[in-house]
Structure 1
């Protein structure tokens, strides 16, 4: 008997079955717990996706809330935004989520020129396996927020470089055509620039030659792009934008900042004015109000008609107040600068490149850009790529040595994110519109 008792007590052959039976309940419970929680998390992810879509959609540029916010005089709740967000949120629901009776809290508010949405959700997800342990449901919740900066009130001061270098052909084909047209001129070497002579030597007026032979100049494309920009601005605004247009002068004898259109909210007026033809033009006159600067003769005033320093200084003086964009009286100020980036002026002592006599040819001196930016004025720069003119001795000696730094300086002149380079084969009008829209739109998801 003792031997049998000892054998029975020492026998372990049935322990695995016993242990398995004892552990089965917690193992099944743990697996069930994982399944239930995984299912709850999956539904929570779906709800977050719906909340994100609702938060962003409620304050997007084309939303009802954005339209309503532009006409609100005071800050506060935007009711149509709450309704729109709710519709978007529940429109994302799967049948299972729709059956959960999801509780939501939605706020859409306007503060200054910012539109903010917040979508909070809460739901109770029934469990399956966790009921074994007395847990009938799992609570899930979350919050999504989005913010959209409605188009601020902005004043755009469009500064168009219309100096002789902008008379270059608009495309490589136009440059070649102009060079070929002038190659037979015995009194002057071939030239890619349609220099606009208005003096006694009108017979050498390459501007007239370009017009006669349908050569498109850079200034022509910029003029067309400026007109198109006014249409883009008008389509994107609820009377929040004003525009003014300036050039470097109608003629070289009176070079300096020249107002083409004064600051106005009538964007049609701006578009019409820049594309307006000159009334009763005389031989040597420009064809358009916004056109290439005329010069009395080749080499007039040592060709020093492009003073970025002077133009930016005078424009800075014209902008007397810089606002934050919350109202028309508190408008932000934007200088929209279109140029090929090469200055040419009398600047004997502070020129950033070697001078010839007192003539300074240099990429833009960003010191004068910084003076505007220090006041809170934003600068949007559209750099129309300065074309290498390798057949031109003047270019090879004076411009080619700093050619690579021209876009670098133009980019440094611009406010962060507001620089765009457009080559002759690109669309200047498309580039101007893209840069403009980049300035006026700034949506972002904040949570």
Structure 2
């Protein structure tokens, strides 16, 4: 029996047929660990992605235009941290993570700071995610973390000074149809609805009776729309201030006239804009028709505009919004285009010419941004009722674009463009461009929060 048992033991000892099961059992352990590690890491990655999204939402939201930090920054006179912004960012982060479990937050830093006109929000987080399978190898948690940085440009504070041409030439019909209506209904074929207080030539009232829309009507409406746009765009109550000037109440007092003093009350500015109207004249040749003296008007408005700033509440940027048809009619002995020809006689030093861009340069050189809205000078009839050359044919057509003069380009448009700061020249049709051009100034001040990293 002993010999038999010894033989069976030797046989079992030398038998290798069960090794594959043993080897599989030993190899199964690291395979399960690898799969478990992948599951733990995937879960940690998913939670980190959720936390990163929450951090992005917190950094962007805490410097958005409606955020407490953005509003608080508007009243800050110095740079530095904004406590309400940090609180807001923290709340946004926590709100986005409220439904997420399976992690332990170890650190959340949220800071919002103001530097000049820029707000920066930095949100940094770190957390740990408990493991399930990695505990086999002694790792009970995985560390995760991330950062989100967002910046927002604060809307600048801007003072707008409106210089609006209300000279008799702004009484011309706003469209070719309006011009034709006036010409067809006046004995002297006049396209202008001058605000003549003499009943004999009161084409101003005639235009109203005929339903003719003049340039000054369009300008009045556009200016009022501008005030509505400014009010809707402003983030801070006193972000935009307005002042309104024109060329004078009458030909006898033609000079810079203030219709509305610089103020942040945009509703009051809109009310004042409703009074924009043509200057009055007393018959033909009142003030020798010299009612557009750019050489006096622009230096005068320059004196009204205080030093331009960087766009902060205590140092606003300065804009001149200059709306005109671009033709001077003034006493100016240095004018390059005086009233001299065989038909009209020698009327020197009366000057009718495109605006001198040097008058605008004095302002742009000191940081004032000049926005020019050129109301295109429409071609007018070339003949008077008696067949003689018209005033337009003799004095405006030669430097206006079109088939009525020798110039290949409009000197009026070119000089108005030279007056404007880069990017702030608009040539508009009298009926449907002035309001859009005025509103375009505001679009340049709008800035939205963005993720920068």
Structure with the greater alpha carbon radius of gyration: 2
**After the TM superposition, which residues 53-202 of structure 1 pair with which residues of structure 2 at under 5 Å, given as runs?**
53-72=57-76, 75-89=79-93, 99-101=102-104, 103-111=107-115, 113-122=117-126, 139=144, 141-152=146-157, 154-170=158-174, 172=175, 175-186=176-187, 188-191=188-191, 193-198=192-197, 200=198, 202=199
Q: Which residue number in structure 1 is paired with residue 272 of structure 2? A: 273
Could you say which residue in structure 1 is the equivalent of 2:14? Answer: none
SS at match of 2:237: coil
Cα offset for 1:178?
A: 3.9
Alpha-carbon spacing, 1:131–1:380, altered in 2? closer, same or farther (3 Å): farther
Which has a greater percent of helix?
1
1:140–1:112 distance in 2 versus 1, CA, 3 Å? closer
Post-superposition CA distance 1:239-286 (Å, at most 9, x none): 3443221111112222221111222344333322332xxxxxxxxxxx
- Equivalent residue number for residue 397 of structure 1: 398
CA deviations 1:145-198 (Å, max 9, x no partner) are: 30322442x33221111122222233x3xx413423332433x1242x322223
Q: What TM-score do you get using the length of structure 1 for normalisation? A: 0.71
Q: How many residues align?
A: 393
Q: Are 1:222 and 2:219 matched, yes or no?
A: yes
Q: CA deviation at 1:292?
A: 1.0
What are the ranges of 5 or more consecutive residues in structure 2 without an aligned counterpart?
Answer: 1-29, 341-348, 383-391, 402-406
TM-score normalised by the chain length of structure 2:
0.70
- 2:331 pairs with 1:369: no
Deviates more, 1:215-224 or 1:303-312: 303-312
1:89/1:163 CA distance change after superposition, 3 Å? farther
Provide Cα deviations, 1:104-140, integer angstroms capped at 9, x if missing partner. Answer: 4221123455433223344668999999999985755
Aligned with 1:252: secondary structure?
coil
SS in 2 for 1:162: coil
Offset, 1:207:
1.5
Could you say if the C-alpha distance between residues 69 and 346 of structure 1 is closer, same or farther in structure 2, counting changes exceeding 3 Å? Answer: same
What pairs with 1:180-329 in structure 2 (closer than 5 Å)?
A: 180-186=181-187, 188-191=188-191, 193-198=192-197, 200=198, 202-235=199-232, 236=234, 237-275=236-274, 288=275, 290-300=276-286, 303-328=289-314
Q: CA RMSD in A?
A: 4.1
Any gaps of 5 or more consecutive residues in structure 1? 1-24, 276-287
Q: Displacement of 1:55 after TM fit?
A: 2.8
Q: 3-state DSSP class of the match of 1:263?
A: strand
The structure-2 alpha-carbon separation of the partners of 1:324 and 1:425, relative to structure 1 and needing over 3 Å to count, comes to: same
The question of whether the paired residues in 2 share the 8 Å contact of 1:180 and 1:190 is answered with: no
Task: Write the distance in 2 (CA, Å) between the matches of 1:390 and 1:131.
Answer: 91
CA distances 1:347-370 after superposition (whole Å, capped 9, x unpaired)? 45464xx554352321x4332222
